[in-house]
Amino acid sequence: MLTDIQAAGARLTYQPSRAPSFSQEVRAFPPERKWRQPGQRADTAPDEIAISRWTCTQTGIRYEDATTPADRYFFAIALQTTRIKLTRGRRTIFDGVMPEGTLYIGTPSQQLSAQFCAPCDFLHFHVPASSYFSPPRPGAGPALAEGLNDLILLRDPFAAQLAKALTERGHSTDREFARCIGQTLAMHLARRELPHARVNALPKWRLRRVEEYVGTHFDHCISLSELAKVAGLSRMHFAAQFRAATGYRPREYLLHQRIERAKSLLLNSETALAEVALAVGFCTQAHFSTVFKRITGDTPARWRCAHRSASVPLSLSDRASTSKPVAHVLPPDLS
């Protein structure tokens, strides 16, 4: 990952502090008292990226509202899976389960309302527009702002790695390191290639039918053709619209759902790893461990040990299992 960071921000220089402390970590990305309000620091320049963290531990429904400043872009990266509804006026931008690692981008002067339906944890980046997003040249095609606005559920592994690199340092994080991460993320997104054609997202009612089908038949072999049939679309149209709606290819998204279910079993039972693997649909423990480590960054055994020793709230899959079916994964042969 260090190689990726260096490649994306080759012109950035990071000089770590000699003795980082908890106070430095707070100054690097302080907790928000109000959603998307990072607060003002006397030593923060107007053209500097501000980073803040929004954490909500309550299980009830909570409503928030904010408007992106006219001179700023807003990036949000989900640090844990949650359930959320995002709206602008009467338009619903997103309503459902938001996986860990989800990236959302808002452009300047845009109002956004959020309804949090579960505990959540987000890392917020408030980026000066003039420093990273120049206005389009005449004849250069669609404006970057139009293409980036409300870009949500984009599966961007590099952005997820940057967020992890910033938060996993804990109390040792200092402002210089946070500044480097913020600038690298801004440069990465400012230079991304926008899609040439916009694909309509899978309608919510079709998506629910697919989730319910998978939740009922997850222990069987389910093909992409079956899911497309449930949604009432061809394989090609289903795959494209599913990705537009969730940010993931069907197999990728459902692998993440399978791992969320496995986390629940690991955290709340003494079930052996081999049995957990079979319970969530993997054919072997080895394949389960490989996918688990790729998604979480840790092996199932180490994850269980670490999270049982810490006081953490129940995962989203635990809460959702009491109210509605949870999407589970398709077999590895799904293409």
The pLDDT tens digits of the residues spanning 31-48 come to 898 999 886 654 567 778
**Among 7-11, 192-196, 206-210, where is mean pLDDT lowest?**
7-11
For residue 279, the enclosing domain spans: 204-320
- 281-286 average pLDDT score: 88
Cα 260 versus chain centre, distance: 14
Cβ-based burial of 97 (10 A; exposed 0-12, middle 13-18, buried ≥19) = buried
Q: 94 with 172, same domain?
A: yes
pTM exceeding the 0.75 threshold for the entire prediction:
no
Cα 77 versus chain centre, distance: 5
Do residues 111 and 65 lie in contact, with contact meaning Cβ atoms separated by under 8 Å? yes
Give tens-digit pLDDT for 230-254. Answer: 999 999 899 988 887 776 788 887 7
Beta bridge partners of 123: 53, 77
Give tens-digit pLDDT for 141-193. Answer: 444 555 677 777 666 788 888 898 888 876 556 788 888 899 999 988 887 66
Q: 36 with 74, same domain?
A: yes
Number of domains within the chain: 2
- CATH number of the domain enclosing 47: 2.60.120.280
- Residue from 62, 41, 192 nearest 126 by CA: 41
Last residue of a domain, one of 163, 190, 217: 190
Q: 163 with 288, same domain?
A: no
Q: 185 with 225, same domain?
A: no
Q: 227 with 261, same domain?
A: yes
154: tokens are: 């984009």
Q: 42 with 172, same domain?
A: yes
Give tens-digit pLDDT for 200-213. Answer: 778 888 988 988 88
Give tens-digit pLDDT for 125-143. Answer: 999 988 887 655 444 444 4
